Amino acid sequence: MSTARRAAVLGSPIAHSLSPVLHRAAYAELGLAHWSYDRFEVDEAALPGFVEGVDGSWAGLSLTMPLKRAILPLLDEISATAASVEAVNTVVLDEDGRRFGDNTDIPGMIAALRERGVEKVDSAAVLGAGATASSALAALAVICTGPVTAYVRSPQRGAEMRAWGERLAVDVRIADWADAARALQAPLVVATTPAGATDALAGAVPEAPGALFDVLYEPWPTALAAAWTARQGSVVGGLDLLVHQAVLQVEHMTGCVAAPLAAMRHAGERALAAR
């Protein structure tokens, strides 16, 4: 492909994003020498103007917080996956200027878990109830055959998680954050909380833990992930999720059948090690 094409990740704050590292590694491996991928500091107020200024040289956009829902009214069409959680992290731009929104976080979560051997579980626990938790529930709708217990800090958050469960056909049960240590007994624990929020739980990891999916990638390992590994439990990290969702983004934006997962992961690991 000799035609110059552009893509970028938008968000606020955005300086920490590893997306440029991953996408550029993919372009290099795929021989897309004329493709570029950048990052732009864009908040909700600036998003409409940025999107309107995108011309025909653009292939796509990656979106991080706080733009995953703000982008919705600016799109021509969204996938069923994105509609299920009302969140878009990927915009593909066609030659006619139409904007198609998708969510690669959800299949990225499923792929990251499957890579570590987690195909099906009969129950699960989710720590937290923020934006990432809804995507986690959508992924659990595919791989969890039984109830999902969400550990939350407020009744409002609990109501939100119940509503997402009803929408996604997941049997969501609510528990208080004060009892979060009980979550660690589940065959699959998904931690969707900010850095430091689960550190106090590290001492409660059981002798033979199941699988932990901690969506953070910096700092890594988290105290909980380190304790889990020490107990010989299976751990899926935020970099695993970031790479798998980026693989799908690259495939959508470039039209390539298979993005180079190994090269992208290696680039991400190197970038994190250098920080």
Tokens linked to 174: 């609510």
pLDDT in tens, 34-93: 999 999 999 999 999 999 999 999 999 999 999 999 999 999 999 999 999 999 999 999
Tokens linked to 212: 């932990």
Give the pLDDT score at 2: 58
**Torsion on CA atoms 51, 56, 62, 67, rounded to nearest 10:** 10
Question: Which residues are designated catalytic?
Answer: 68
Give the pLDDT score at 61: 98
Query: pLDDT exceeding 90 applies to what percent of the chain?
Result: 95
Helix (H, G, I), strand (E, B) or coil at 91: strand
Q: In what order do the strands lie in the sheet with 5-11?
A: 35-41, 5-11, 58-63, 90-93, 99-102, 77-78
Does the pLDDT at position 1 exceed 60?
Answer: no
Domains of the chain and CATH, by start: 5-102+245-274 (3.40.50.10860), 106-236 (3.40.50.720)
* Cα torsion 186, 188, 192, 194: sign: positive
pLDDT in tens, 176-196: 999 999 999 999 999 999 999
